[in-house]
Amino acid sequence: MSEKPTIEQYKQNIEEGDFQAYKCVGCGTIKAIPTGSCYSCGGNEMEWARVSGKGNLVSFTVIHVAPEEFQDEAPYIVAIVELEEGTRVSARLVGFDPLKPEEIKLSIPLRLEYEKGSSGRTYLSFRPV
Amino acid sequence: MPLKNTCIVSGAQTKFGKLDGVTLREMFTEAVDKATVGAGIDKKDIQAAFIGTFIPEMLIHQGHTAPLLLDYAGLKGLPATRHEAACASGATALRAAIMAIESGFYDTVLVAGAEKMTSVSTNRVTEALAAAADDEFESSLGLTFPGVFAIAAVAHMEKYGTTEEDMARVAVKAHDNASTNPLAQFQKPVSLEKAMTPRYVAWPLKLFDCSPISDGAAAMVLTSTEKAKEYTDLPIKVVGTGQASASMNLSDRGELTSFEATVSAGRRAYDMAGLGPKDMDFAVVHDCFTIAEIIASEDLGFFEPGQGAAAVKDGITARDGDKPINPMGGLKAVGHPVGATGVKQAVVVYKELMGDAGPNQVDKNETGIVHNFGGTGATCVVNIMRRADA
């Protein structure tokens, strides 16, 4: 893919269940969250990159007090996931009981999927492998 | 080189809390009056104003706050600029004022901050505070402000063995200190058991791990060393200042158990002052959540990474400990009217250095450090202050 990535398209891709990351044309560094300049080399030319969808759990929280838009979904888990490609992303974590957070172990392997919330949004989400 | 020219000659705050029937401009004016005429400083001496407010647009449907607030406070006509850096709004205003004095551009300026938060619902406040995070890639997942600090807490617990009880002890200390502070939102001690009440806001953070929603204002007058003699025999000098930024999004940070902007701003302030962590007699740090105080105490170099929780447990950070932290009660128990906080924190350091902190006075008070943090650590300002006779 040679088209220049945009945030609008990035969000649309998630909405359609087709997540794609940003990749620096100059040095090949992949970044899961859109950026205007590469953290590694400072380059400002980006392209799309498909990722394996494999990652592991870095940290998480269970949201009990939620903003109005998400209230019907609470309690829900938001996590930081490190992808196999060495870049991190914030996402929902599914496949666990949000009321038993002590059962969730950090570093466990996860796989990318998508979750349609009652807020109407589609979230990037991860589930244990 | 330490700063040479900037002195603090007054500082004051309103009561923090749910100030029913008091609007933003009224509380602002109360703080300004206390810090000017109440301290023997003629308002005519003020040449410019640096104002911190975070998000009055969402909370009270009011933007362009600097001229509005100055007008009500009897300072109409002065150059007045509002500074916004989420919870660090107050300290960025203060830092701009420090630079203005240090450069010789002005002799005497006002720094003030205010926020009115309790006139809307908690959900609305939660939504407004979330604007301090990355809206498109964090808040859109339903990640809240407490949630981001909870993620840092989980990482700290995993890496260093910090516990929920360790965090609760920070709250107990804050409430102990605030119990003798008449301007605090909460003036009652709480037991460890009560602080551990499992009312989760964002697991593992519970109600008592979170600073409250508050109204309030704070103000101070800064002047040049030369002019300071006209106001006081003992000015407080600002000897070092540092500011740094970091990625908004927590996923873009390499480290979750330390906030890089704090480390960087702290280093810049220490270098400028020619002082180090050991030289700080006490500290006022940004304890928006209990875990934030623990991490700040490590990031500012008082304790090794992972040792911040033990320092609380051992009483080292208590008011009568070797390194008192937040001796008047912190954001946690005094309250956190966002735009006022950074100014109020500096006022606390000023009062402690002056020996004017009443029952909350620390024993050693030659040098103090203040750490104010914006959002989830994307902005940090650190200032070091010293008594002129130190």
Indicate whether B216 and B320 sit together in one domain.
yes
Which one of B122, B130, B202 has the shortest CB-CB distance to A62? B202
Count, residues in chain A? 129
Residues 16-45 of A with CB under 8 A from B: 32-34, 39
CB B335 within 8 A of CB B86: no
CB B218 within 8 A of CB B12: yes
The whole-number pLDDT of residue A2 equals 60
pLDDT digits (tens, 9 = 90+) for B177-203: 999 999 999 999 999 999 999 999 999
Which one of A66, A121, A123 has the shortest CB-CB distance to B144? A66
Residues 57-76 of A with CB under 8 A from B: 58-71, 73-76
Sheet containing A46-49, strands listed edge to edge, beginning at the edge strand earlier in sequence: A30-31, A21-24, A46-49
Q: Nearest C-alpha of chain A: how many angstroms from B151?
A: 5
Which one of B154, B251, B256 has the shortest CB-CB distance to A89? B251
Q: What is the DSSP string of A18-81?
A: ---EEEETTT--EESS--SS-TTT----EEEE----EEEEEEEEEE-S--GGGGGG-SEEEEEE
Separation of CA A120 from chain center: 17
Overall domain count for chain A: 2
pLDDT digits (tens, 9 = 90+) for B11-69: 999 999 999 999 999 999 999 999 999 999 999 999 999 999 999 999 999 999 999 99
Chain B residues within an 8 Å CB radius of A101? 203-204
**Cα-Cα-Cα-Cα dihedral sign, residues B283, B284, B285, B291:** positive
B31 vs B47: CA distance, rounded Å: 18
Separation of CA B58 from chain center: 21
Indicate whether B265 and B358 sit together in one domain.
yes
A22 vs A3: CA distance, rounded Å: 11
Residue B96 lies in a domain: yes
Is B210 a known active-site residue? no
Which residue, chain included where needed, has tokens 């933003």? B24
Overall domain count for chain B: 2
Q: What is the pTM of this model?
A: 0.97
Put simply, the answer to whether A63 touches B122 (Cβ < 8 Å) is: no
Put simply, the answer to whether A33 touches B144 (Cβ < 8 Å) is: no
Indicate whether B97 and B188 sit together in one domain.
no
**Cα-Cα-Cα-Cα dihedral sign, residues B315, B320, B322, B325:** positive
- Check whether B381 has a pLDDT greater than 90: yes
Residue B338 lies in a domain: yes
pLDDT digits (tens, 9 = 90+) for B113-169: 999 999 999 888 988 988 888 999 999 999 999 999 999 999 999 999 999 999 999
Catalytic residue among B87, B210, B288, B380: B87
Domain that holds residue B185: 142-209
Indicate whether A74 and A112 sit together in one domain.
yes
Q: First and final CA of chain B: distance in angstroms?
A: 17
B348 vs B383: CA distance, rounded Å: 13
Indicate whether A34 and A61 sit together in one domain.
no
Domain that holds residue A12: 7-49
B14 vs B6: CA distance, rounded Å: 24
pLDDT digits (tens, 9 = 90+) for A4-42: 999 999 999 999 999 999 999 999 999 999 999 999 999
Q: DSSP state, B36?
A: T
Q: Predicted ipTM?
A: 0.97
Indicate whether B203 and B337 sit together in one domain.
no
Contacts of B220 (CB under 8 A, 6+ apart): B8, B10, B11, B12, B35, B94, B110, B111, B112, B343, B346, B347, B350
